[in-house]
Every structure is written in structure tokens, then in C-alpha cells.
Amino acid sequence: MKNFLVHNEDVKKQMLETIGVNSIADLFKQIPDAARMKGLNLEDPLSELEVQRRVKSLAAKNKTGFINFMGGGVYNKFVPACISQVAGRFEFLTAYTPYQAEVAQGTLQIMYEFQTMISRLTGMDIANATVYDGATACAEAILMAVRISKKSQKVLVHKNLNPEYMRVVKTYAWAGDIEIEVFDNLPDNLADYACVLIQNPDYYGEIRELRALEESLLIVCTDLSTLSIIKPPAEYGADIVVADIQSLGIPMNFGGPHAGVIACKEKYMRQMPGRLAGRTVDKDGNQAFTLTIQTREQHIKREKATSNICSNQALMGLWVTLYLSVMGEKGFRQAGYLSAMNAHKLARGLADKGYKILNDNFFNEFAVDVKDAGKFLAKLKENNILGGIKLDDTTVLVAVTEMISDEDIQLYLEGVK
């Protein structure tokens, strides 16, 4: 363990002599005194036991135990305990995403299984092995559509896209000289646009009736957990499907790390960014997995690459693969059914109390009209309930998942009297 010890005075002296200075202070003499810190305002050092006591006392100040009705892209979902135990094994848990020559067969197989599961959920032909998050998935899909169309730098984006996603999309578009038009109703001249991006269910939870677009590519941003019940985007004509995968067994984690994914029709796969794992056989005829499709430009000639995403969220993809495997089709559908049932139960209860529900069709998230959103949420918080997201002075976005019980719903309704 000697290599992990702090340098002693003899070692420091040898190092200084080697580089030709007399003291550590001489290393920094070129920095003016006025620019130097005079020291750190730190308390005296503590023993390990004292540190534990201090941390526990600080942690005790946190207020926990809230009943969570917040959503807007990050959801409080049930995560089986075994997932963290497997995903936390040293074979998987690494801050570095390995490249082709270094990727173990187990990691490649996880990527392959993840892609297969996403393809089955969305109904699309092929999916990649994750990108950073749902927002960048939307932006990358737009760049992908522009490359495919080769005819237009104009793109339509529905106004009810998650506002965080919208900001990222506009940033990517600005850098790529792509014109973004935000719309409510589709224009007649779709041939003038490379693609149409619509979130379904949208940011407000509304499930939209969509159709295939003959003149333009249709990109659907979806919540994958809703596909436990509602029909997959491929069935209503999606060309590209994007999503954030947090709702599939990834904890909220204070907003991250999460991950995104892109799926598409097979004919567009060479324009799809991110990594693709394929299955083949080795020279002995045994099953083997490898990264495939990508060209060298993806990693070494960025200006020619389909994306400048040189890495991915492989560990988050593992979480999703484990979640779907453990839950199974039956458990996945049951979680979706409970979420939808509880959401509609709460919405009916609020409507009975005179609140206006602003959605016609929704899965597990809806917007409610209130007189004063700040007071509405503050009153619920007094009862340890996070009642939703304030959209404006009179509108609150409420999300309900399988983690919410009948008792929780009753507490919510009692809290808004």
C-alpha cells in the first residue's frame, strides 16, 4: 500500500531536486501574491468516527418521506432491489465506456438485448445502445432526419414537447443551421420540411392521435413505460422513435444519470447515431457479439460522423435490460395498468371537488386547473405531499405511478379541500 501514501518529506525533497527548485513555494512564485488564496476556511480535521457523526447530523436535516406526484419527464417508479445488486457489480460499474477492442462479450450482449427489447416495445426495426438522454435523442433524431431527407433544413416541432427537450433541440438546430418551426396544427405543405417531431404522450400527458406522414419523416418522442398499454409508435406510422429510458427502472437520482434511446426503420439505420451491437458467430461457430454498422469516422473524423456522441450510457442500458427482464411482460403491464388506473382515479376525485382536468386522453399524467398553483402545492407540501409541477400561476402537472396507493390518493384529495 506504500504507493497510496502521501509523499513524505524525503520524497518531496528528491522530487524538488529533480526538477531543479528548492521548495514547493518556488513552483508557484510566478503567480502574484494578490492572486493567491490565503488558505481554505476549513474546520479542524476530524476522526472517521467524528465525520460519521457529523454527516448523520447533517443528513437528519433533510426532509424525506414525501408522497411524490411529480413527473414532467422524471418519474418515481418501482425498481426491484436485485437490479442495483447486479448493475453494481465490478464487471459493469465503471465510469469509462469501453470501445470495440476492449468491450467484453457480456457488455456487448447486454447492449444487444437492450436494443432488442427497445425494438419490441416501440415496434421499430432497430434501436441503438443508448445516447445521453431524451433531450439529445430528440435533437440527434432531427439531425438524422435532415441527413436522410437531403432536401430541407426546415423542421416542425410540436409546441407541447417537453420544454427542456425543446431548448436542447433549438441549440442543436442553431449549430446545424436548421430552422425550427414550432406548431400546434400541422400545415398543409409538409413536403417543405425534413421531419415532424411530436411527443406522445406530450409534456402535459395528452395522448395524441397520430398518422404516418407521406411527405415528411415522423419522429415520435415517447415515454416507454406507457407502451405497456398504449400501442407502439410503429403502428401509427413513426419513422424514428426517441425516448428517455428513466421510466424503465432507473431511479430518479436527483435528475441523472439517465439515458436516451433512438429506434428507427431498418432503411435508416446507417444514419442513426450511437453504438449498435450485433450478433454473429466466431470462427468456431459459437455465438459472439460485436459493435457493427459504424464507420471509422464515428470515432476519428468528427466532421464526417453521424454524431459527435463518442460514448453512451451503457450502464443505464443495463439497468433497463435488468428491469424489463425481472418485471417480465406481465409485471411491466401490471405496473402500467396501476399507474393509469391510479392517475384516472385521482383525476376523477379532483374533478368531483370542482377542479378542471385539462386533458381529454391521458395515461398517468395530466394537467389540472387551479386558482393559485403556488398555494395549491404549498398546502399539499405541508402534508408531506409533492403535489406536482407548477406550469403557470393556475396550472399544475400531476403524475401518478404504481408507487401511489389508494391511501396516497385519498390524502391528496383531503389536502386540497
Q: Is residue 46 part of a domain?
A: no
> Do 233 and 105 belong together in one domain?
yes
Q: Is residue 53 part of a domain?
A: no
For 88-121, write each residue's pLDDT tens digit. 887 777 655 555 555 678 888 999 999 999 999 9
pLDDT at 1 over 50: no
Q: Is residue 29 part of a domain?
A: no
Question: How many independent structural domains does the chain possess?
Answer: 2
Q: Is residue 132 part of a domain?
A: yes
Q: Residue 182 pairs with which residues in a beta bridge?
A: 157
For 230-240, write each residue's pLDDT tens digit. 999 999 999 99
**In Å, what is the CA distance from 164 to each residue of 132, 135, 256?**
14, 7, 14
Burial status of residue 173 (CB atoms within 10 A of its CB: 0-12, 13-18, 19 or more):
buried
Q: Is residue 55 part of a domain?
A: no
pTM attached to this predicted model: 0.86
Q: What percent of the chain lies above the pLDDT cut of 70?
A: 92
> What is the pLDDT confidence band of residue 394, given thresholds at 50, 70 and 90?
very high
Q: What is the pLDDT of residue 64?
A: 86
Q: Is residue 269 part of a domain?
A: yes
Distance CA 207, CA 127 (A): 23
> Do 208 and 281 belong together in one domain?
yes
Q: What is the mean pLDDT of residues 115-129?
A: 97
CATH for 184: 3.40.640.10
> Do 333 and 193 belong together in one domain?
no
CB 366 within 8 A of CB 209: no
Distance CA 67, CA 413 (A): 13
Domain boundary among 321, 337, 364: 321
Distance CA 318, CA 339 (A): 24
Q: What is the mean pLDDT of residues 119-143?
A: 95
pLDDT at 284 over 90: yes
Domain boundary among 321, 342, 362: 321
For 18-50, write each residue's pLDDT tens digit. 999 999 888 888 899 888 888 888 888 899 999
* Average pLDDT across the chain, whole number: 91
Q: What is the rounded end-to-end Cα distance, in angstroms, of the chain?
A: 64
- 253 versus 95: which is more confidently predicted? 253
CB 371 within 8 A of CB 354: no
Cell numbers that stand for 271 in this block? 444514419
Q: Is residue 18 part of a domain?
A: no
> Do 142 and 243 belong together in one domain?
yes
Q: What is the pLDDT of residue 310?
A: 53
> Do 380 and 295 belong together in one domain?
no
Q: What is the mean pLDDT of residues 255-277?
A: 91
> Do 142 and 278 belong together in one domain?
yes
> Do 274 and 223 belong together in one domain?
yes
Q: Is residue 274 part of a domain?
A: yes
For 157-198, write each residue's pLDDT tens digit. 999 999 999 999 999 999 999 999 999 999 988 999 999 999
Domain span at residue 149 reads 81-321
Q: DSSP labels for 217-247? A: EEEEEEEGGGGGTSPPGGGGT-SEEEEE-TT
> Do 256 and 205 belong together in one domain?
yes
Q: Residue 67 pairs with which residues in a beta bridge?
A: 385
CATH for 379: 3.90.1150.10
> Do 244 and 309 belong together in one domain?
yes
